[in-house]
Amino acid sequence: MTNSGMCKFADDGLPPVGEVIRRYELRAKKSLGQNFLLDLNLTRKIARLCGDLNGETVVEIGPGPGGLTRSLLHEGAAHVVVVERDERCLPALQLVADNWEDQLHVISGDALAIELSELKRFVQGEDNQRFLIISNLPYGIATRLLVSWLEQSAWPPPFSSMALMFQREVAERIVAKPGTKAYGRLAVLSQWSCKVEIGMRLPASAFTPPPKVDSAVVTFKPYEMREPLASAHILGRVTAAVFGQRRKMLRSSLRQVTDQPEKLIEAAGLSPELRGEHVSVADLARMARLLETETEG
């Protein structure tokens, strides 16, 4: 135990993460967003943010030297599937795999090139059982990954819950409410799809090396149905129009998606003078739905 009462050492029989990094010479690469978590007490708290892991399959993007991976296994995950782009991390992950027999599956590759639905094959048990995603994401691609997972047309998605680390500013954009500066496309897509909450805030000093900004973990609990029902693609077009000119009134900004913005706004029961930054997630989705039916018709 350290003076602060934080146990920095594992009780899984493996060396501390700092030692693993030294042993395999895992000098952090900025280009891969490598800011590692060495304190297993902290990674254990992150591992618990989606609730009890017993019997669950967990997907982790970017395990690096394996600190969070070890905590996921320690917290009872039946299987952990990791996707890591940096081949230098593979020996460190093999060390974890050897310790946890058949429970860790390492995929060496780029997470951006992997369809989430492909990972369903790792889930054992009932046909409709889903996996969790718990990750300290590489910041450079974190938003892109999140958007691609939420924009997929098959819903409910293959994950039942997620706990994802972002730069604090991005985390705040995900949970932002209408009328705030942070409210925009990311909030709309996230909150239309999932119940989102900030689960934990971390100072930059929690990471090695410390990034320039603080971080936060956001938890996502997907709704069984996204309501009002709409196509994620059309909602994306509507939000791009509305938030691209967020201080403009709807009747002006929506011209980008329809020749008759007033008709659309009236059908949605809104005021044409409303400004984009004040329109709720439900109202945006309702407009997307109306636009979609109009195009279909």
Considering beta carbons, is residue 81 or 111 the nearer one to ligand SAM? 111
CA angle 190, 193, 198 (to 5 degrees): 45
| Distance of alpha carbon 26 from alpha carbon 29, whole angstroms | 8
Radius of gyration of the chain (CA): 21
When binding is defined by CB under 6 A, the residue of 52, 98, 110, 169 that contacts ligand SAM is 110
DSSP annotation string for 167-201: EHHHHHHHHPPTTSTT-SHHHHHHHHHEEEEEEEE
Q: How far is the CB of 32 from ligand SAM (least distance, A)?
A: 4
- State the amino acid at position 126 in one-letter form: E
When binding is defined by CB under 6 A, the residue of 84, 172, 283, 292 that contacts ligand SAM is 84
32 binds ligand SAM (CB under 6 A): yes
Helices marked H in 76-137: 90-99
Please identify, among the stretches 58-66, 73-81, 150-158, 249-257, the one whose residues bind ligand SAM according to the rule CB under 6 A.
58-66
When binding is defined by CB under 6 A, the residue of 14, 37, 80, 234 that contacts ligand SAM is 37
63 binds ligand SAM (CB under 6 A): yes
The binding track of 161-200 with respect to ligand SAM, each residue x by CB under 6 A or -, is: ----------------------------------------
Residues with Cβ within 8 Å of 252's Cβ and at least 6 positions away in sequence, in order, are 245, 261
The binding track of 141-160 with respect to ligand SAM, each residue x by CB under 6 A or -, is: x-------------------
CA angle 188, 181, 279 (to 5 degrees): 45
Q: How far is the CB of 85 from ligand SAM (least distance, A)?
A: 4
Considering beta carbons, is residue 44 or 173 the nearer one to ligand SAM? 44
| Distance of alpha carbon 147 from alpha carbon 172, whole angstroms | 15
Residue 61 vs residues 110, 192, 294: alpha-carbon distances, Å = 9, 23, 39
68 binds ligand SAM (CB under 6 A): yes
Q: Which residues lie near ligand SAM (CB under 6 A)?
A: 32-37, 61-64, 67-68, 83-86, 89, 110-112, 136, 138, 141
